């Protein structure tokens, strides 16, 4: 019988739970359950009083040094009183565990549980509070760097397009559109580069990566894509996600204004940064297409030419809307 290697595997929740209980000195009342597979795999280990989140990183997805930097960032944010899900050290003071899976070594980190639940349709008050929270994060991370990816024109656009074309033929009109928009985005960034606040960004902040309690307390999690770049990237990515969630564009504009007001209540946004939001959001949209291609064989089996048409169609609707509705300095459109 031939034994073939695995690309990715799903670890047994029971066995992982036993490993965590031993490493973290948890009592036998704790049980472990798989919650989600995808980019990484997420488990909950809990008893009737306490919950923790267990992230099992995919094999060869992140270097150990990159995860150390993520952990250090979260420790810094926690020390500054920011509402984030933070890493928990084991009984020896170690934050990152390593386990042997069929495909090879995988890292494991235990995080605090984010109370509350996901709210897809946020009201204006929550949008304001979230804008303020994002600004608080940026006030801590401004002018700091991690030993991780730098989100610049090459990583957001060039590398992403090159990765995408390994899966999608360049002759497709959608790929031609991405190439054309990449050139326009580059021009816009170059023109505004000197006026952008730099620092550490999350790069994946949207409703699916935050929990909100009944008292509207917000906790942000999943800093797996954190890196260095213009802080406006986080602002722009939330804006484009809000745009696609809110089909009623009057509601979108009201919530956008509340979000930006909340942000600017804690941190300044320059006119150049506001004007860059449409291009910055499009750049991240292109970046994530490259990521989806990169992880196709172990996460994104839905990827197809029809998916590309849908994905680019959403990007086009964002670009077309913003060509007619400019974001002003007071957040109105």
DSSP states of 175-234: HHHHHHHHHHHHHHHHHHGGG--EEEE-S--SGGGEEE-TT--EEE---TT-EEEETHHH
pLDDT for res 39: 87
> How far is 43 from 288, CA to CA, in rounded Å?
24
Architecture of domain 13-112: 2-Layer Sandwich (3.30)
Residue 226 pLDDT > 70: yes
Residue showing tokens 């030993």: 147
Ranges for all domains in the chain classified under CATH 3.90.1200.10: 124-324
275: Cβ contacts below 8 Å, ≥ 6 apart: 192, 326, 327
- pTM for this predicted structure: 0.94
Residue 17 pLDDT > 60: yes
Ranges for all domains in the chain classified under CATH 3.30.200.20: 13-112
* 107 beta partners: 98
> How far is 304 from 310, CA to CA, in rounded Å?
10
pLDDT for res 205: 93
Query: Mean pLDDT across the stretch 128-151?
Result: 98
Confidence of residue 333 (pLDDT cuts 50, 70, 90): low
Architecture of domain 124-324: Alpha-Beta Complex (3.90)
pLDDT tens profile 130-140: 999 999 999 99
């Amino acid at each position: 019988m031939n034994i073939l290697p695995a690309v990715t595997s799903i670890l047994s929740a029971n066995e992982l739970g036993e490993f965590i209980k031993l490493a973290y000195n948890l009592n036998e009342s704790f049980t472990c359950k798989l919650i989600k597979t995808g980019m990484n795999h997420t488990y909950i280990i809990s008893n009737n009083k306490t919950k923790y989140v267990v992230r099992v990183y995919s094999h060869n997805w992140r270097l150990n040094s990159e995860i150390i930097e993520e952990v250090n960032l979260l420790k810094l944010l926690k020390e500054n009183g920011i509402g984030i899900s933070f890493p928990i050290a084991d009984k020896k003071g170690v934050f990152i565990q390593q386990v042997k899976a069929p495909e090879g070594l995988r890292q494991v980190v235990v995080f605090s549980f984010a109370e509350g639940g996901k709210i897809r349709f946020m009201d204006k008050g929550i949008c304001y509070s979230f804008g303020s929270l994002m600004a608080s994060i940026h006030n801590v991370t401004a002018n700091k760097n991690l030993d991780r990816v730098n989100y610049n024109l090459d990583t957001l656009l060039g590398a992403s397009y090159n990765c995408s074309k390994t899966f999608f033929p360049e002759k497709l009109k959608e790929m031609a559109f991405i190439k054309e928009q990449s050139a326009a985005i580059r021009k816009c960034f170059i023109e505004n580069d000197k006026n952008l606040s730099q620092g550490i960004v999350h790069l994946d902040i949207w409703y699916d990566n935050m929990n909100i309690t009944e008292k509207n307390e917000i906790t942000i999690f999943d800093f797996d894509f954190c890196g260095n770049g213009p802080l406006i990237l986080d602002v722009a990515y939330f804006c484009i996600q809000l745009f696609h969630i809110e089909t009623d564009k009057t509601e979108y504009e009201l919530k956008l204004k509340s979000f930006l007001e909340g942000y600017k209540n804690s941190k300044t946004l320059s006119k150049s940064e506001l004007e860059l939001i449409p291009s910055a959001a499009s750049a991240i949209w292109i970046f994530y297409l490259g990521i989806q291609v990169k992880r196709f064989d172990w996460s994104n089996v839905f990827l197809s030419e029809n998916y590309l048409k849908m994905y680019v169609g959403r990007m086009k609707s964002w670009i077309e809307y913003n060509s007619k509705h400019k974001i002003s300095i007071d957040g109105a459109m």
